[in-house]
């Protein structure tokens, strides 16, 4: 689609200038242009610059938005979600307020296992419908690309139901949807006595099936005490790789397991959570070019401490921010809210948070050549925000400032 956005008070391009990610001091230079315009042609960015230098739309009647007094920025790339789920965990939320921890609730059969019971009982159609509804709300809040994980099925049938549902949404929805196979999210109750037998089921049956049908771009493992250890994680991710799925890891969330070191060693695209990462883990991410996916909403919601973002950025690791939207550890999909928490609790600057929520998020999905910044030739995924300058997005929190979400040059009409 064609579109011209004129008279923009401030465009934040997050220009990567051919780089895959922005790291270190470059994260504080998000490419601000005052009094600007953006021209989209055939769903891509055709021109961006100061209005005074605008060469014209090319004559025909290109639809226009007058963005006087507003800010334009790239659509958010939410690179880590578990947003296909059924039921809710409001009860556990109340239990945590009374002092129960996430682990204690999980050990009593709640947590991930409680969502699994609901997902197993739901049809693919039901799961797709609720996910699609969430997706619409996310787009209203500025998310234009999103990763969705399986991992609430944990049986062949239920994981395939999720894989197919996510894959189909990718073809049907306006947003860019990237699927991740997370069969190794928890050990299902029927394998409690023999977790390695479940690892074998994942490696011998689920992964080859998902790979053969190209149902997921990534393979992920929850590498955590009581879930999957580093040895099992490595076996599963190498099997995923052999079947065409790129590795991602839930690493060092509740306890240190060496998931970050493993991520560096096997060339994972991202390692996410990282609350308990060590200096060796940070070195491994840097040396392996692994994106560090931090999830401020989880630390906030579970109140269990934050990933050491300053140390990661100072070491030159590319940091991405994602929501982790799921019913247990972060019941929010608001990327601006995640940016606010990143600024207040992780000491990221508003500029770093914006880069982390756009370009570096795209890199965590292997999409940063085409998504995540406003540069000529990239997908025209744009937001028009009613704020005086971009820092207000994180600063003025708890309100939705997005007035238009634009996907591939099309203004979304979201009910
Ligand atoms: O990323 N940490 C593991 N998995 C999710 C939580 C999923 C759930 O509690 O339902 C996470 O936080
Ligand atoms: Fe997660």
**Among candidates 406, 405, 407, 402, which has minimal Cα distance to 387?**
402
Cα 299 to Cα 169: distance, rounded to the nearest angstrom: 29
pLDDT at 155 over 80: yes
Do 84 and 66 reside in the same domain of the chain? no
> Could you tell me the distance, in angstroms and rounded to a whole number, from the CA of residue 82 to the centre of ligand 1?
8
Residues sharing a CB contact under 8 Å with residue 228, sequence separation 6 or more, in sequence order: 184, 187, 195, 199, 221, 222, 236
Do 155 and 292 reside in the same domain of the chain? yes
Do 131 and 107 reside in the same domain of the chain? yes
pLDDT at 60 over 80: no
Mean pLDDT of 120-141: 98
Q: Looking at ligand 1, which residue's alpha carbon is closest to its atom 8?
A: 328
> Could you tell me the distance, in angstroms and rounded to a whole number, from the CA of residue 283 to the centre of ligand 2?
22
Do 57 and 90 reside in the same domain of the chain? no
Ligand 1 atom with the shortest distance to the CA of 302: 12
Angle between helices 350-357 and 335-345 (to 10 degrees): 140
**pLDDT of 56:** 84
- CATH number where 390 lies: 2.30.40.10
**pLDDT of 59:** 64
Q: How confident is the model at residue 109 (pLDDT cuts 50, 70, 90)?
A: confident
Residue of 79, 81, 82 to mutate, ligand 1, most atoms within 8 A of C-beta: 82
Q: Looking at ligand 1, which residue's alpha carbon is closest to its atom 9?
A: 328
Cα distances from 17 to residues 21, 49, 122, in angstroms, run 10, 15, 45
Q: Which residues of 110-124 are buried (b: 16+ CB within 10 A; e: fewer)?
A: bbbbbbbebbbebeb
pLDDT per position as a tens digit, 83-104 = 999 999 999 999 999 999 999 9
Do 69 and 192 reside in the same domain of the chain? no
Cα 134 to Cα 330: distance, rounded to the nearest angstrom: 14
**pLDDT of 258:** 98
Point out the least confidently predicted range of 98-112, 183-197, 262-276, 325-339. Answer: 98-112
pLDDT per position as a tens digit, 9-30 = 999 999 999 999 999 999 999 9
pLDDT at 117 over 70: yes
CB of 12 within 8 A of CB of 30?
Answer: yes
Do 71 and 81 reside in the same domain of the chain? no
CB of 30 within 8 A of CB of 322?
Answer: no
**pLDDT of 1:** 82
Q: Looking at ligand 1, which residue's alpha carbon is closest to its atom 12?
A: 329
Provide the percentage of residues in the chain whose pLDDT is more than 70. Answer: 100
Number of domains in the chain: 2
Angle between helices 156-172 and 124-140 (to 10 degrees): 40
Do 64 and 174 reside in the same domain of the chain? no
Do 23 and 159 reside in the same domain of the chain? no
Cα 335 to Cα 390: distance, rounded to the nearest angstrom: 14
pLDDT at 196 over 90: yes
Do 288 and 380 reside in the same domain of the chain? no
- CATH number where 86 lies: 3.20.20.140
The residue ranges of DSSP E strands in 28-141, in sequence order, are 32-41, 44-50, 64-66, 71-74, 76-78
DSSP 126: H
Cα 288 to Cα 265: distance, rounded to the nearest angstrom: 7
Give me the DSSP letters along 135-176: HHHHHHTTEEEEEEE--S--SHHHHHHHHHHHHHHHHHSSSE
Cα 100 to Cα 88: distance, rounded to the nearest angstrom: 17
The partner residues of 32 in beta bridges, in order of sequence, read: 12
In the block, tokens 């799921």 appear at: 326
Kindly state the tokens that stand for 87. Answer: 């039921």
**pLDDT of 46:** 97
Provide the percentage of residues in the chain whose pLDDT is more than 90. Answer: 96
Kindly state the tokens that stand for 161. Answer: 């139901």
Do 191 and 274 reside in the same domain of the chain? yes
Kindly state the tokens that stand for 42. Answer: 């055939």
Q: How confident is the model at residue 124 (pLDDT cuts 50, 70, 90)?
A: very high
**Among candidates 78, 12, 142, which has minimal Cα distance to 407?**
142
CA angle, residues 192, 198, 200, in degrees to nearest 5: 150
pLDDT at 186 over 70: yes
Paired sense of beta strands 382-385 and 71-74, if any: antiparallel
Domain hosting residue 250, numbered range: 77-363
pLDDT at 39 over 90: yes
Q: How are the residues of the chain apportioned to helix, strand and coil, as percentages rounded to the nearest 5?
A: 40, 20, 40
Cα distances from 9 to residues 36, 222, 237, in angstroms, run 7, 43, 46
Mean pLDDT (the chain) is 97
Q: How confident is the model at residue 399 (pLDDT cuts 50, 70, 90)?
A: very high
Mean pLDDT of 167-194: 97
Cα 299 to Cα 189: distance, rounded to the nearest angstrom: 27
Judged by its nearest atom, the ligand closest to the C-alpha of residue 85 is 1
pLDDT at 57 over 80: no
**pLDDT of 87:** 97
Ligand 1 atom with the shortest distance to the CA of 272: 1
**pLDDT of 223:** 98
pLDDT at 150 over 70: yes
User: Which residues line the pocket of ligand 1, CB cutoff 6 A?
Assistant: 82, 111-112, 115, 222, 250, 253, 298, 324, 326-329
pTM of the entire predicted model = 0.98
Q: Looking at ligand 1, which residue's alpha carbon is closest to its atom 5?
A: 329
Kindly state the tokens that stand for 350. Answer: 């508003």
pLDDT per position as a tens digit, 201-244 = 999 999 999 999 999 999 999 999 999 999 999 999 999 999 99
Mean pLDDT of 376-383: 98
Do 221 and 114 reside in the same domain of the chain? yes
pLDDT at 315 over 70: yes
Paired sense of beta strands 270-273 and 291-294, if any: parallel
Which of 326, 343, 363 terminates a domain? The answer is: 363
Do 246 and 340 reside in the same domain of the chain? yes
Mean pLDDT of 332-352: 98
């Amino acid at each position: 689609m064609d579109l011209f956005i004129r008279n923009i008070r401030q465009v934040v391009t997050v220009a990567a200038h051919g780089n895959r990610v922005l790291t270190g001091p470059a994260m504080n230079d998000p490419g601000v242009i005052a009094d600007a315009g953006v021209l989209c042609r055939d769903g891509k960015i055709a021109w961006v610059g100061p209005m005074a230098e605008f060469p014209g739309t090319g004559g025909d009647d290109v639809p226009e938005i007058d963005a006087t007094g507003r800010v334009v920025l790239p659509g958010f790339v939410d690179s880590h979600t578990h947003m296909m789920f059924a039921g809710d965990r409001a009860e556990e939320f109340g239990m945590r307020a009374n002092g129960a921890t996430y682990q204690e609730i999980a050990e009593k059969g709640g947590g991930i296992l409680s969502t699994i019971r609901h997902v197993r009982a739901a049809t693919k159609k039901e799961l797709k419908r609720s996910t699609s509804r969430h997706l619409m709300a996310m787009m209203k809040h500025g998310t234009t690309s999103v990763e969705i994980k399986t991992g609430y099925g944990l049986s062949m049938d239920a994981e395939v139901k999720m894989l197919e549902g996510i894959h189909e949404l990718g073809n049907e929805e306006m947003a860019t949807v990237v699927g991740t196979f997370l069969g190794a999210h928890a050990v299902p109750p029927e394998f409690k006595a023999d977790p390695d037998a479940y690892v074998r089921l994942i490696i011998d049956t689920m992964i080859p099936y998902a790979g053969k049908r190209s149902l997921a771009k990534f393979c992920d493992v929850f590498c955590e005490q009581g879930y999957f250890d580093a040895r099992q994680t490595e076996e599963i991710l190498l099997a995923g790789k052999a079947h065409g799925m790129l590795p991602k890891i839930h690493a060092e969330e509740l306890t240190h397991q060496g998931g970050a070191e493993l991520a560096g060693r096997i060339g994972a695209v991202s390692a996410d959570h990282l609350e308990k990462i060590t200096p060796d883990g940070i070195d491994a991410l840097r040396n392996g070019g692994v994106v560090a996916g931090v999830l401020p909403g989880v630390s906030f919601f579970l109140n269990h401490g934050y990933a050491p973002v300053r140390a990661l950025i100072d070491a030159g690791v590319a940091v991405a921010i994602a929501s982790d939207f799921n019913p247990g550890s972060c019941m929010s999909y608001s990327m601006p809210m995640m940016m606010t928490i990143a600024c207040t609790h992780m000491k990221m600057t508003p500029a770093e948070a914006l880069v982390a929520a756009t370009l570096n998020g795209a890199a965590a999905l292997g999409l940063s050549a085409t998504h995540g910044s406003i540069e000529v030739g990239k997908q025209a995924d744009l937001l028009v925000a009613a704020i005086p300058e971009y820092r207000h997005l994180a600063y003025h929190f708890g309100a939705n400032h997005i007035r238009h979400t634009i996907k591939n040059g099309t203004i979304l009409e979201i009910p």
